[in-house]
Amino acid sequence: MTGDALFARYAYPPNELGYCGPPDPAELLQAGTLSAHAREFDGAWPYLQALADAVGGADPLDDAVVRSYWIGGDLLDRVDPDGLLHRLRTAFGGQATGLLAELTGPEGVLAHHSFHVFVVYPWVRFLDRDPVTPVRIMQNCRIRSGVVESVTDEHAVITSRPLVYADGLLALGAPTVDRVRWSRDGASLAAMPRPGDTVSAHWDWACGTLTAAECAGLAAATTATLALVNSARARLNDASSGSCRDPAAS
């Protein structure tokens, strides 16, 4: 599979919903057209550039680069986190973000889609107001894996660990049943899954079958980013509590 085609698989679900990319989602599924539109995915492009630079100036739509951004893997470790943090703050400067401006250093910064969902997107800021909506959106927007239980004409039922928020922490909960689309009107992003396969999902689409190594890479990147988010939120909450302390009490 080419990097263009792989990028299209994962970019199509949010593009179909109107969240990013070109105005016509069908353009993503047309061979040879993605390169002209890839920069319109301004959320993903800085990460792809950072990954490409880390392997000696590769094409940002190289297969290994694209796979690392959406799924994960060893290539993430080759990206300089300090340079990536500077790149992201420059790219998204002036936009409302979640924790990007509050990070005290580059530790834990990853060129992975989970970092964009949990750190750059602003939804993490609303967790303490009413977590239902931000958790639902971050759950759908992150790339998740699940084991296929059954398949119908257009949908697959998968068992997957959902994003949960409890006791002030974001985490992956116990496995639950999730229903995703693998086909619509004869068009699909990947081959028909089979019961027992482990697939990746983005929003309500299955995007492809994962190998054991890919599944482990996705889990590692997601877990690392959640740990970074929880640590950053705890630090900010502690600082906020301290600023309101009665000086007479100390």
pLDDT tens for the chain, residues 1 to 250: 688 889 989 999 998 888 877 777 776 666 545 556 677 788 999 999 999 999 998 899 999 999 999 999 999 999 999 999 999 999 999 899 999 999 999 999 999 999 999 999 999 999 999 999 999 999 999 999 999 999 998 999 999 999 999 999 999 999 999 999 999 988 888 999 999 999 999 999 999 999 999 999 999 999 999 999 999 999 998 887 765 444 444 3
pLDDT score of 34: 58
SS3 114: helix
| Residue 72 CA: distances (Å) to CA of 3, 104, 110, 159, 244 | 14, 24, 9, 21, 41
pLDDT score of 246: 44
For the chain, the straight-line distance linking the first and the last C-alpha, in angstroms and rounded, comes to 63
pLDDT score of 247: 41
Half-sphere exposure of 147 (CA within 13 A, CB side): 7
Write the single-letter amino acid at 59: D
Q: What would the DSSP string read from start to end of 41-72? A: -TTTHHHHHHHHHHTTS--TT-HHHHHHHHT-
Q: Where are the domains of the chain?
A: 3-243
- Secondary element (H or E) of residue 234: helix 212-243
Q: What would the DSSP string read from start to end of 174-197? A: S-EEEEEES-BTTB-SSPPP-TT-
Measured distance CA(8)–CA(66) in Å, rounded: 10
Question: pTM score > 0.75 for this model?
Answer: yes
Half-sphere exposure of 194 (CA within 13 A, CB side): 0
pLDDT score of 250: 34
SS3 58: coil
